[in-house]
Structure 1
C-alpha cells in the first residue's frame, strides 16, 4: 500500500524530500524564493484585469494597497486557492486564506520584500457534487447538510464559473437561518451570506464576496482564471500543453514511476501523450472534456456523449479565436499561476502537496522557477460545548482520534465500582496463564521437534486475537450500560471528527461565525496561525 506523500513530507522523510524539498522550513531558502519571485513582474494586462475583478468586491483600502504593490517591480506573491464551495465550503478554505496572509507577512518581515496574499478562485472545475453543499454541526444527531438543487449536478461538465446559484439557494439560506438564528452573532453572518448568495449570482461571485469581506482588513487579492480578460494571457500555456503534450506526459510519467518506486502514488494520473487541459467544443459556457491522443493530429474528447474528436489544427484555431474554451487541469493550473504571478510560495493542503511532488519536471520543461510549497495551517475548533464534553468525559482532544469502540472501552474501564473488572485486567489474566503454559510447552518441545515453534506461534496469535475480540466486546458491553456517557462520546466525536474525518474538512464556517462572529472567528484564526508550521493547532473561541 502506497504511503501518504504529504504525511511523509511533513515528517521530513528523506524519500519524500527527494521529490519535493522542504525549502519552506529554512529562512535562507525562503529568501531565495522571494528574491526569484520579485525579479519577475506582473504584466500590465494581468494587473488591469485584477484591479477590475477586485473592484467588484466590497471596498478595502488594504486590498487596494496590495494591488498597487503588485503593479510595482520587486513585489512577490503568496498564493493559495480553493474550489468555490457553497458558503465557502469546508473550514479549511478560511484556514488557507489565513495561511497565505500569515506567510506573506512573515516573508515580508524576513526579507524586506513586499509579499502580497492572492487567492486563486478555482472556477475552471466542473465537479458540482464537491461544492454544492455545506455541513453544519448540531448539538445532537447527524450534521445538517445544506445543499443546492442542481438536477444535473452528477453529470454536468460546465465550469462552475458559469453556474448561477438559482432559486434553490434561497431554500438553502432558509435552512441555515432556521438552524442558526438563535446564536449570538447570527444576524451579522446571515446578512453577509444573504447579500452574497443571491439566485442570480454565480458560485464564484458569492464565494469571493463573502471571503473578501472576511479578510478585507488584510487586503486579500482575488484572481479568477475564467475572467475573459485573462483568457488571451492563458493561451500560450495551453498552446504548449497541446503542441508538447507527448514530451510533457513522458516526463511526468517518469516522475510517476519514480514516486511509485519510492512507495508513493501519483496524486494525478498521467494519460500517455495527453495534454494537461480541457476543451469546451460547444462554447465557453459549454461542457469541457479531456483530450486524449487518437490518430496522429487528432484528439478524442474523453466522455463526450457522441464520442467526438478534434484535430490539432482545430484546437489551435479555437485557441486563437476563443481561448476561454480552454481550461487547466490540476497539474497545469500551477504553471498558469506561476507564469502570470511572481509567486514566492504556494499554500496547499495534503492533496496539493502530493501533486506538487509530481511537478518539478513540468516546471523545468516550461522554464519557470518552482515556488516554495508551504503546508496550510490546520486547526481544530474547541468551542465551549466541546470543552464541556471533554471535561465531563475526562478526555483530551486527541483521544477522540481513537476508534469509537476503543474510546468507549477506555471510558468503561474507569467506571468499575459495580464489581466488573477493567477490560485490560481481564485480558491480562486470560493471557497471562495461557502465555506461561505455551512458553513452557514450547521449551519442552524445542529439542524434540524444531518445527513445533511455528505451531506455537500460530496458536499464540490466534488465541490473542480471539481474546482481544472477546475483551473488546466485554468493554463495549460495559460502556453501553452508561447511556449518558455513550451520548456524550457521540456528540463529542460529531463535533471533532464527524464521520471519522477531520472537523476542518467537513464543517463550514456558518456555525462558528454565527456563534462567535464572522470577524472574531477570522481574527482568532489569523492570530493562531503559525507560518511554515503545518501542525494541528487548537482554536478556543
Structure 2
C-alpha cells in the first residue's frame, strides 16, 4: 500500500472557506477558538476541564450505561464508558445521520479520524484520557437523505412512508432491501460477512436507532468507540437552561446572524451554510418533529394544533425535555453541554456551519471546541493503479476536471505541440507596438486596436481548440480509456467517498479494509489522502 497526500486546495473538491480555514488564513481567526494542531489542544484541555462539572459527568455516564444496556459491549468500549466519570477524561466527537448501511464511504473516514486523533492526543498528553464518540443524528427527520446506499452503480432504497425523527422508525420492510442486496453481492466469504452484518443490524432490531448502534458498534467496538444518542431525557435535562435562552431570548439567532454578516464582509466567496431561526428547536412527540414558532403571546408547533403560553412552554420543557429537539444551529451546543468535548470532526459543510457558531457559544458561556476537517481519501485499486501507470497519469493529474485531464494528456502524447501560448505571447508583443504607435498618432483608434487584438486571440484559441479536437479523434482510444478510468475512480465525477458504500471495498479487501484505513488516515495532517493498493 502506498499513501500519498495532496493539499485539499489542489483537489478541486473543497470550498474556498474550507481551504482558507485549513490554511489558517488570519481573517478567519475570530470565527474559531483554537487551530487543530497538537499544541492547540493544550489550551482546550485547560478550558474544558474548568467548565465541565462532575455532575454532568455522572449524568453522561449513567445515560451511556442505559443506552448500551442491550448492546454487546467490548472491553475497550466498556472501559471508555467508565473513563467518562473521570475528571481527566475528554472526548473527540464526530456525528452522522443514520444512513442505511452506513451510507457513503466517508462515514468510516469520520469515525476513523476520530479514533486516530484520540490515540495521537494520548501520546501527546498522557495524563489525560481521550474517548472517541460517534453522535448518532437520531432526531433528524430528513428520511429521503438516509434511506438508501449505493453499490456498484445500483441504488438500494428503503421505500417507506416516514415522518418524525428517523431514529424512531421501525425497521419493518428492510427485509426486501436485504434480499435484493444479498442476491447482488454473491456468496464469497466477504459477501457472507456483509449479509450477516446487514441482517443482524436491520432485521434483528426494531428501530433505526438500535440498528445503527449495532452496525457502528460491530465495525468499531474493538477500537473503543462510544456511540451517543442525544434523544435522551436525562441528557436533555442538562440542555433546558440553554433551550430557554434560545427560545425566550433568541441569543443564538442574534449572534449567528451577526457572524454571518462578518463572513459576508470577509469574502463574497464564503456562502452561508445555514441560517438561524428565532427559535432553533423542534417539538418532538408522537411521530412528529415540527418547528416551534412564536406568534404574539403564544408558542405554536408548526403544522399542528399544539400551542403553549410562555408559562406552559416552560413547564413542558422542565417536565418533558425529551420533547424538545435542537435543529442544526442548536445541536452543536447540546453536544458541548453534555460532553467533556475538545474537538468536533466533520466534513466541509459541517465545519462551514460550525464557523458560524462561536459567538453564540460565548454568549451561552460554553467553550467552543476545536474544529477539524475530517480525513478525505481516495482508494485506488491495484488494477486501477496499473492503468494509471501505463497511461502515465499522476495522482495529481487524476483530480483534474475531465476536459483538462484529456487536453493535458493529449498534448503530452501527441506528436504535435498543440499549445499556442508562444504565439499568443508574440501577438501581445506586436500589439504593444501598435498601441504605442496609436498613442502618438490618434488615440481614438485605441479601441479598434484592442478589438483587433481580442479578435486575433480568439482566432488562435479557436484554432488551438480545433486542432486539439482533431488530435482527440486521432487518439480516440486513449481518450476513451482515460475517460472510463477517471469515471471509475470518481463516480458521477464526484469524490468516491461521497458516492460509494463501504461494502464495495469490503468485498475486495475484507477484514483488512478497516485496519488499512486506520493506517492511512492521519487527522491532523489536514491533507487529502490517496491510498494505492499494490
Change in 2 beyond 3 A, CA 1:150/1:124:
same
Structure 2, unaligned stretches of length 5 or more? 1-13
Is residue 490 of structure 2 the alignment partner of residue 492 of structure 1?
Answer: no
d(CA) in 2 for partners of 1:25, 1:242: 35
Give 1:119-138 correspondences, 5 Å limit.
Answer: 119-137=134-152
Change in 2 beyond 3 A, CA 1:100/1:443:
same
Structure 1, unaligned stretches of length 5 or more? 138-142
Is residue 252 of structure 2 the alignment partner of residue 248 of structure 1?
Answer: yes
3-state SS in 1 of match to 2:150: strand
Is residue 131 of structure 2 the alignment partner of residue 116 of structure 1?
Answer: yes
- CA-CA distance at 1:10 after TM superposition: 0.6
CA contact (8 A) 2:398 2:486 kept: yes
Query: Who is 1:288 aligned against?
Result: 289
3-state SS in 1 of match to 2:524: coil
Query: Who is 1:36 aligned against?
Result: 47
- CA-CA distance at 1:219 after TM superposition: 0.5
Change in 2 beyond 3 A, CA 1:439/1:323:
same
Change in 2 beyond 3 A, CA 1:391/1:166:
farther
- CA-CA distance at 1:21 after TM superposition: 4.5
- CA-CA distance at 1:96 after TM superposition: 0.9
3-state SS in 2 of match to 1:18: helix
d(CA) in 2 for partners of 1:376, 1:504: 12
TM-score (norm 1): 0.87
3-state SS in 2 of match to 1:397: coil
Query: Who is 2:179 aligned against?
Result: 174
Query: 15, 21, 30: which is aligned to 1:9?
Result: 21
Change in 2 beyond 3 A, CA 1:494/1:175:
farther
CA contact (8 A) 1:159 1:285 kept: no
d(CA) in 2 for partners of 1:454, 1:43: 74
CA contact (8 A) 2:61 2:82 kept: no
Change in 2 beyond 3 A, CA 1:312/1:455:
farther
d(CA) in 1 for partners of 2:279, 2:305: 18
Query: Who is 2:528 aligned against?
Result: 536
- CA-CA distance at 1:470 after TM superposition: 4.8
Query: Who is 2:272 aligned against?
Result: 266
CA contact (8 A) 2:252 2:276 kept: no
3-state SS in 2 of match to 1:266: coil
- CA-CA distance at 1:3 after TM superposition: 6.8
Give 1:230-241 correspondences, 5 Å limit.
Answer: 230-241=235-246
CA contact (8 A) 1:187 1:514 kept: no
- CA-CA distance at 1:512 after TM superposition: 0.7
d(CA) in 2 for partners of 1:307, 1:393: 65
Deviates more, 1:115-124 or 1:186-195: 186-195
d(CA) in 2 for partners of 1:346, 1:368: 14
Query: Who is 1:522 aligned against?
Result: 514
d(CA) in 2 for partners of 1:24, 1:8: 14
- The C-alpha deviation readout for 1:275-311, integer Å capped at 9, x for no partner, is 221123xxx242222234332x334545x2x697654
CA contact (8 A) 1:77 1:117 kept: yes
d(CA) in 1 for partners of 2:106, 2:186: 23
- CA-CA distance at 1:510 after TM superposition: 0.8
Give 1:76-91 correspondences, 5 Å limit.
Answer: 76-91=90-105
d(CA) in 1 for partners of 2:88, 2:332: 21
CA contact (8 A) 1:412 1:422 kept: no
d(CA) in 2 for partners of 1:178, 1:467: 56
The count of aligned residue pairs is 514
Change in 2 beyond 3 A, CA 1:55/1:535:
farther
- CA-CA distance at 1:63 after TM superposition: 0.2
3-state SS in 1 of match to 2:149: strand
Deviates more, 1:375-384 or 1:466-475: 466-475
Is residue 421 of structure 2 the alignment partner of residue 423 of structure 1?
Answer: no
- CA-CA distance at 1:58 after TM superposition: 3.0
Query: Who is 1:373 aligned against?
Result: 371
3-state SS in 2 of match to 1:211: helix
d(CA) in 2 for partners of 1:341, 1:218: 19
Give me the CA root mean square deviation: 2.7
- CA-CA distance at 1:465 after TM superposition: 4.3
Query: Who is 1:140 aligned against?
Result: none
- CA-CA distance at 1:422 after TM superposition: 4.1
CA contact (8 A) 1:166 1:199 kept: no
- The C-alpha deviation readout for 1:378-434, integer Å capped at 9, x for no partner, is 2111112321231232211322222222222223334435xxx3432xx35864675
CA contact (8 A) 2:299 2:313 kept: no
d(CA) in 1 for partners of 2:363, 2:449: 59
CA contact (8 A) 1:31 1:110 kept: no
The structure with higher relative contact order (CA 8 Å, sep 6+) is 2
CA contact (8 A) 1:186 1:515 kept: no
